[in-house]
Amino acid sequence: NAGVTQTPKFQVLKTGQSMTLQCAQDMNHNSMYWYRQDPGMGLRLIYYSASEGTTDKGEVPNGYNVSRLNKREFSLRLESAAPSQTSVYFCASSAPKGTGDLGYTFGSGTRLTVV
């Protein structure tokens, strides 16, 4: 049972380069999320997808785009990386409210450094 698989685990980019972070879940969850974690700031929501075919902005969406490719996959793209996007990125999925499983299942994170 893999849960949420996130790739890559580490990445170094030069300013202005682009990249896509991949995320796939086998939990059969409808909702998926991308968060970034910065020291002293906790986890902040970048984008989320409540169901296949929908995406919405979170708290810090600027500089990012997302694609919900199908129910399993939710990717995060940085079109032109900036040093301010140096962070640890987490993908997560969640079961619906009203189930005993409410809460997120997280991927293992991607440490991204933009130089």
Partner 1 sequence: AQTVTQSQPEMSVQEAETVTLSCTYDTSENNYYLFWYKQPPSRQMILVIRQEAYKQQNATENRFSVNFQKAAKSFSLKISDSQLGDTAMYFCAFMKQTGANNLFFGTGTRLTVIP
Run of H or E including 113:
strand 110-114
Q: Judged by CB, which is closer to partner 1: 14, or 28?
A: 28
Taking alpha carbons only, the member of 82, 78, 32, 22 closest to residue 55 is 32
- Tell whether residue 109 is a contact of partner 1 (CB under 8 A): yes
- Neighbouring C-alpha atoms within 13 Å toward the C-beta of 13: 24
| Interacting residues with partner 1 between 21 and 80 (CB under 8 A) | 31, 33, 35, 40-45, 48, 50, 56, 58
Residue 89 sits in the site that holds partner 1 (CB under 8 A): no
DSSP state of 96: P
Interface ranges with partner 1 (CB under 8 A): 31, 33, 35, 40-45, 48, 50, 56, 58, 88, 90, 92, 94, 96-97, 102-104, 106, 108-109
